[in-house]
Amino acid sequence: MEIQVPDIEKFLAGLVGPVGKPDTMAVELGAVRKMAKAVEDFDPIHYDAAAAIARGYRGVVAPWPLLWLFYFNGTEHSIDFPFGKATVHGEDEYEFHEPVIVGDEIAMQMVITDARLKQGRSGPLGIVVEERRFTNQLGALCAVLRTTLIRR
């Protein structure tokens, strides 16, 4: 029997809240270089400590796409939707604060901040917003990444 709208709404509402405990990952030079090369970012601050320090940083700077390494290697998490056929990565919003530097220990905490049903052209869509906050070993907020998933 097909799941009814009130049950979908109840399922989605139950998703909202923190997911797991913070995960911590060390920022390694090799990982930073590998990401900088993958996104074709050849700014010397991502490769050379002297160049980064000359520009006012504490050390080699991680390119912001390194957040995706943490994203994919943090809390094991998947949503077992009782409706729809596919989940699509709809959009991302980034806030940037304190730069991530080689040698930092980055803690990532994930929270589902919104989960609701929306009427799309081809039927109901589940909209889920995941927020990941990245904090360094000094307690400084480095970045916030909000990802909107669409279930259809």
Partner 1 sequence: MGTVKTVEPQSLFFEDFAEGQEFSTVTKGPMMVGHQVRWAGACDNYDSEFHHDEHVAKAQGLPGIILSGPLMASYLLTEVAHWVGRHARLLRFADRNVGSTMPRDTAYLRGRVTKTHVQDGLGVLEIECWIENQRGENTTPGRAVAAVPRRTP
Residues forming contacts to partner 1 in the complex (CB under 8 A) are: 31, 33-35, 37-44, 47-48, 51, 55, 63-66, 68-69, 71-73, 88-96
Backbone Cα Rg of the chain: 18
**To the nearest whole angstrom, how small is the minimum distance from the Cβ of residue 10 to partner 1?**
28
Cβ burial of 79 (10 Å; 0-12, 13-18, 19+) is: middle
Q: Please list the residues that pair with 19 across neighbouring strands.
A: 110
Nearer to partner 1, 99 or 107 (CB): 99
DSSP, res 61: B
Nearer to partner 1, 52 or 107 (CB): 52
Nearer to partner 1, 6 or 42 (CB): 42
Q: How many other CB atoms are found less than 10 A from the CB of residue 102? A: 21
